[in-house]
Each structure stands twice: as structure tokens, then as C-alpha cells.
Amino acid sequence: MLQAVLTAKRRVAVREAPVPEPKPGEVLVEVRAVGLCGSDLHYWRIGRIGDQVIRFPQPLGHEPSGSVVALGRGVRGLREGQAVAVEPGIVCGRCRLCRIGRINLCENVRFLGAPGMPAALQRYLAMPAENVVPMPRSVDFALGSAGEPLGVSMQAFDLVALRRGERVAVIGGGPIGLCVVALAQALGAQTVALAEPRAKRRRVASALGAGRTVADDGGTFLRAVNAGTRGEGADVVVECSGAPSSLDAAVRAAARGGRVAIVGIPEVDLLRVDPHVWRRKELMIVNVRRSNRTLPRCLRLMREGGLGLRKAGFFEPVVGLAGVQEALARLDDDGAGAVKIVIDPALG
């Protein structure tokens, strides 16, 4: 089978690899859609995320969906031909964090596409059956692959305990920021403002109902948030850009007693934030680490109309493995403004 691997910074190659065998308890999935993600782009651009440094060659991709083609011994409740979305974190089930239900923080997690791990940008993928979630009939493969970024957005809202009617502000209009907007809407909250430098992404955000969209997270963003909240600030701010300025911007945009969820991954190692703004408002600031069993809920929410993602222009045209290199270059190019690029390994 064919597989896309990172062979150096900014270089992806497609190579032959053996088709994996599903071990007992695993299923073999024919991968039909893999969303490219900001974390793939970090690895492509600088070869690391913080101290997670990759060694080349490294397979890429962690947002797969596809169909079940074989079942390992002992697998029940799934059948061949079933369309499924795949949860990319394989957890141990035995460590302290797994035992208290915070499986996304598993001490022994093996996450697809992370340094040294197998990944999803290949024709077939073997995964533990518990990582495989059947998709509703109305959810297609591309939407199913968006279950992962939506799941991270859901994790953010779980952690800040979002309530109906609350006002949300979003920094960063990449795939995660846009999923946050779509999900806020579906959960009965309202996005009042979104900051994003790329015009095309701002248009998608508007189509999803993001309220006021502005180009930067400075003074204009703060004014937009205040205009949308009678000067009170946002109940919940979700930071999805990873920009060095964004933590301080998020703290300023939050209401008194508000909550800030950090999802974006910075490429710098230290951030600046005004502690007095944060302290006087008694803000709760929480970092979001991937997601904890949010995929089934997200797939259910996509059942009718796919949360409007496709209609809003969230998805770029689907390409094959041979298109991964160019796709990552497009995601890296501010001028291109690409949103979610989905790869179908069956296209070669």
C-alpha cells in the first residue's frame, strides 16, 4: 500500500509499506479521508512541537475516517463495510489518568502521527476496535474526518462547561477555530467575534455564524468583542491560533469571571500575559489537550446538515496522497487561505 511520510522539514514522500494485519481486538480500516491539521503543519514546518521532536522518516496524519475491511479476533459490534471515524489516541486503560477517566492524558498514550508512531495517511490502518466509531449514514467520509477537530473543540467546551446563551469569542479561524464556531452554535451559545488574518477563513467563519470577524487579535478584536457583549467581554474565549500575542489577547477579551480555553499550539517557548487583567477578572484559564471521548457526540451532532461546515466552504477539494506535499505548502501560505484539506488515500 502507499503511505505519505515526512522525510525532511518541508518534504513529504509517498512510499510503499506493507498492509498492516489487524491483531486480536483490532480492526483494519480502509482509510478514505484524513484531514490535515495544524499539528501536521508544525511538524512539516519545524520538525517538532515543543520538545516532541520527530525523526525522519515520520508518517503523518491523525484525523482518519474510512470503512472497516477486516476484523481481528474477538472484535464484536462492528462489521465489514461499515463506515467509521477513528479516534487517534490509543490509551493504556491502566494508568492513573485512564483510571480516573481522563484518558486523553494517558501516561502511555500512543497518538497517530506523533513522533515515532504510525499514522493515518496510508491506504489501510489497523486500530483497536474501541478507537473506531460507526458514523451516522448521513455523515460522509470528509465530515467523519472532521470529527477529530470537532472533538477537540468539544473538549474545550466540556472543560469550560459552556452553557446555552453564553457569548463566545474565538482567536484563530483555522480548522479548529471554525469547528469551535460551528459547535458553539450547535450547543446554543453565540460566537460574538473571531480574529483571523486570512480573508477566506474569515468568510467561512461568517458563514458559520461567527458574528464580527476581524483580521488581528489586537485592539480591533477587543472592540469587536465589546461591541458584541455590551462592553462586558466574552463569557468564554477560545484561543485557537497559537500566535504569541494570543494568550494576552484572550485574557483581555474575557468577561469578569469568564473562562479561557487554550487550544492553539505556539511555536515559541514562552508567552507574555498581563497578570493583572487575568487576576482582577478571576479568570479560569484551561489548556485543552486533544479530546476525551468526544467523537461519538460530534458525529451525532453532524447528523443533520453536518453542522453547516460544507455549506460554509470549510472543505477544500479532496486530493490523494500524491497531493500531500502541495497541500501542506498551501496551508502554510497565508495568501492561499486554505481551510480544511482532506486527503483520500484511495485516490493514490
124-128 and 89-90 as β-strands: parallel, antiparallel, unpaired? unpaired
In this structure, the dihedral spanned by the alpha carbons of residues 187, 193, 194 and 195, taken in order and rounded to 10 degrees, is -160
Stretch that binds Zn ion, among 35-43, 222-230, 301-309, 340-348 (CB under 5 A): 35-43
Query: Site for Zn ion (CB under 5 A): how many residues?
Result: 6
Choose between 106 and 295: whose C-beta lies nearer to Zn ion.
Answer: 106
Q: Considering the complex, what minimum distance in angstroms separates the CB of residue 165 from Zn ion? A: 29
Q: Considering the complex, what minimum distance in angstroms separates the CB of residue 141 from Zn ion? A: 16
Stretch that binds Zn ion, among 78-86, 103-111, 186-194, 263-271 (CB under 5 A): 103-111
Q: Considering the complex, what minimum distance in angstroms separates the CB of residue 85 from Zn ion? A: 13
Stretch that binds Zn ion, among 84-92, 267-275, 285-293, 306-314 (CB under 5 A): 84-92
d(Cα 86, Cα 62) in Å, to the nearest integer?
A: 9
Q: Which residues make Cβ contacts (< 8 Å) with residue 165, sequence separation at least 6?
A: 188, 189, 190
**92 lines the binding site for Zn ion (CB under 5 A):** yes
Q: Which residues make Cβ contacts (< 8 Å) with residue 223, sequence separation at least 6?
A: none
Choose between 3 and 292: whose C-beta lies nearer to Zn ion.
Answer: 292
Cβ contact 16:1 at 8 Å: yes
Cβ contact 179:149 at 8 Å: yes
Single out the residue of 17, 69, 95, 186 in contact with Zn ion (rule: CB under 5 A): 95
Stretch that binds Zn ion, among 29-37, 137-145, 200-208, 246-254 (CB under 5 A): 29-37
Q: Considering the complex, what minimum distance in angstroms separates the CB of residue 148 from Zn ion? A: 5
Q: Considering the complex, what minimum distance in angstroms separates the CB of residue 103 from Zn ion? A: 7
**126 lines the binding site for Zn ion (CB under 5 A):** no
Choose between 174 and 233: whose C-beta lies nearer to Zn ion.
Answer: 174
- x/- map, 147-186, Zn ion, by CB under 5 A: ----------------------------------------
C-alpha cell at 215: 483580521
The total number of residues shown for the chain amounts to: 348
**329 lines the binding site for Zn ion (CB under 5 A):** no
Q: Considering the complex, what minimum distance in angstroms separates the CB of residue 29 from Zn ion? A: 17
The three-state (H, E, C) secondary structure of 250-295, written as one string: HHHHEEEEEEEEECCCCCCCCCCCCHHHHHHCCCEEEECCCCCCCH
218 DSSP assignment = S
CA separation, residue 58 to residues 1, 31, 125, 292 (Å): 16, 18, 15, 25
CA separation, residue 262 to residues 39, 79, 145, 250, 257 (Å): 15, 38, 22, 9, 16
**37 lines the binding site for Zn ion (CB under 5 A):** yes
Binding interface with Zn ion (CB under 5 A): 37, 91-92, 95, 98, 106
